[in-house]
Structure 1
Amino acid sequence: MPLVLISGFPSSGKTTRSLQLKAFFASKIASSDDNRVSRLKVHHINDQSLGLLRQVYHTARAEKDARAEEYSAVKRVLSRDDIVIADGMNYIKGFRYQLYCEAKAVQTTSCVLRPILTVSEVHIGTPANKCREINKKLLADAENDGGYEEQDFENLIFRYEEPNGMTRWDSPLFTVLDEDETPPFDQIWEALVGSDGKAKVVRPNQATVLKPATEQNYLYELDKTTSDILAQIMAYQKDHVGEGGGEISVPGVEKPIEFPATPMTLPQLQRIRRQFITLNRQHSFTKSRIKEIFVDYLNDQFLR
């Protein structure tokens, strides 16, 4: 069922808000007469439930492994009959996008809950003094695993990528301030489950529906076709230096590629291409449709 992503500074109260949500969901499900709602289950996944210590943030490799473990745990239980509260760091927008895609792949809803201590303290790359004070108290408690080492804490604060409610994977976005007694329970329930137990139907993008590849040379065509389109884009941008926006017509595709106002660099385009290939490595749409689907994917990425 729905996926709730918790995102915020370290020691900002993410787990506290997660447990409040879990209790609310459990109460709502227990009191419902709707069969669709009453069979829902609630799962709370965080570092503690996965047995991960704060020391995993000492190195990039250990942190990457921790994210992979959270991703796998969420994916295992995510379904139309399960509410999953992903109470991890979730501070990297690319990781939030991955989880959003997983929710969309099983045709269920998702939202992001962002606990913050005060509005004035939320700045990208700026330390949050109140979070730091709380973290120091937790760290001083030898029996408590809730504190982060000072260097890890500052590093996480610096690298935090603030959710943006204008992007698809970060919306709907609910912000909870420190002075708020509870998250906006009713609004979150409405967005995820619906007031009548019937949330909006979520349809996965065709590019993210996994199907086995059946055509010969499919992977070769996937690689070559996407590479050729990127070459066409770079050639266009080279001929239109200093011009924002614009369109490129790809032979055999009805819709053009619509450029954003800011030109795309080759590394940015390559990253989008790699994501597309990874998502579609096992898909079975015909080779003749690779161009069309890749153009749709590019336009979707450019609009974000």
Structure 2
Amino acid sequence: MPLVLISGYPSSGKTTRALQLKDFFESKIASKIASETSDARVSKLKVHLINDQSLGVSRSVYHTAKAEKDARAEEYSAVKRLLSRDDIVISDGPNYIKGFRYQLYCEAKAVQTPNCVVHIGTPAEKCREINTKLLADKEKDGGYEEEDFENLIFRYEEPNGMTRWDSPLFTVLDEDETPPCDQIWEALVGSDGKAKVVRPNQATVLKPATEQNYLYELDKTTSDIIAQITTYQKDHPGEGGGEVTVSEATTSISLPAMPMTLPQLQRIRRQFITLNRQHNFSKSRIKEVFIDYLNSQFLQQ
């Protein structure tokens, strides 16, 4: 069942909102079970809340890159372990890196379950005031060290509802008493309890390759696209980012801020070929699927 990603500035009230959602979901499931028209699918749902407290992670992990990366990997593993069609997983954390949100979005798609992002829209200045009070209260371990707090604010990548991994996006303002719980339930479970249909990514669907010359086209098309990227980067030396347009493709390639080296591009290409050697989307779709795969990999750079 669904994955709910909570995202927001440090000390913005993410855990408060996550607990409100958890209570609402559990109440909704209980009422469905008690009703005469109980939905068997909904009645099997369980709600899980994952956050630093449940994982035993201290907020001091945000002081070093390695400790933060390890903590993020622990959150990722916990979410992946619990995701299923009979579980609602609420991931309560900063989730401030768009590449990390994309990874969790892919995990949800892999098990064909819906997901959404709940953005806690408390202004940075209000978060700063709250964090200062939490740090001053020695009986509570709820504040971030000032340096870590400012670093997280600076690095925060706000969710964008126009991107598929941040959609549907629900924003909860500081003055809102509760999140839009009914709308979130509707988006993820449906008012009638019918499961939302989620299709896995084309690049991860296993199908037998039946078209003639499929492997040849797979190798040639991906090689040509890598050549276009390297040519673009040579024509724009020292520049990061940019859009590479591929002929007969509806989607362009969005390059990362840091220029990609040829070995990096070839490694991504080999990964894609390995994933899709035994797959069968038509040869005419290779360009589109490879471009989509490149964009997803570049987001993580």
- TM bucket (normalised to shorter chain) is 0.7 to 0.9
- SS of corresponding position for 1:49: helix
Q: Does 1:193 align with 2:184?
A: no
TM-score, scaled relative to structure 1 = 0.79
Amino acid across the alignment from 2:291: L
Amino acid across the alignment from 2:14: K
1:134-171 per-position Cα deviation (integer Å, ceiling 9, x unaligned): 01111122232211000000000000000000000001
How many Å apart are 1:51 and its aligned residue?
Answer: 0.2
Amino acid across the alignment from 1:17: R
| 1:17 corresponds to | 17
TM-score, scaled relative to structure 2 = 0.80
Output the aligned Cα RMSD.
Answer: 3.7
Q: Unpaired segments of 5 or more residues in structure 1?
A: 122-127, 212-218, 250-255
The 1-side partners of 2:251 and 2:234 are apart by 14
- SS of corresponding position for 1:84: strand
Q: Does 1:153 align with 2:146?
A: no
Which residue, out of 147, 160, 165, partners 1:164? 160
| 2:5 corresponds to | 5
Q: Number of residue pairs matched?
A: 282
- SS of corresponding position for 1:151: helix
- SS of corresponding position for 1:48: helix
The 1:236/1:145 distance shift into structure 2, 3 A limit, reads closer
- SS of corresponding position for 2:158: coil
Whether the aligned pair in 2 keeps the contact of 1:225 and 1:290 (CA below 8 Å) is no
| 1:92 corresponds to | 97
1:230-253 per-position Cα deviation (integer Å, ceiling 9, x unaligned): 10344478789xxx988545xxxx
The 1:231/1:10 distance shift into structure 2, 3 A limit, reads same
The 1:139/1:223 distance shift into structure 2, 3 A limit, reads farther
Equivalent positions of 1:43-82 (< 5 A) are 43-82=48-87
- SS of corresponding position for 2:259: helix
How many Å apart are 1:268 and its aligned residue?
Answer: 5.9
How many Å apart are 1:195 and its aligned residue?
Answer: 0.5
The 1-side partners of 2:245 and 2:62 are apart by 43
| 1:214 corresponds to | none
Q: Does 1:40 align with 2:41?
A: no
The 1-side partners of 2:10 and 2:257 are apart by 32
The 1-side partners of 2:138 and 2:206 are apart by 47
The 1:65/1:294 distance shift into structure 2, 3 A limit, reads farther
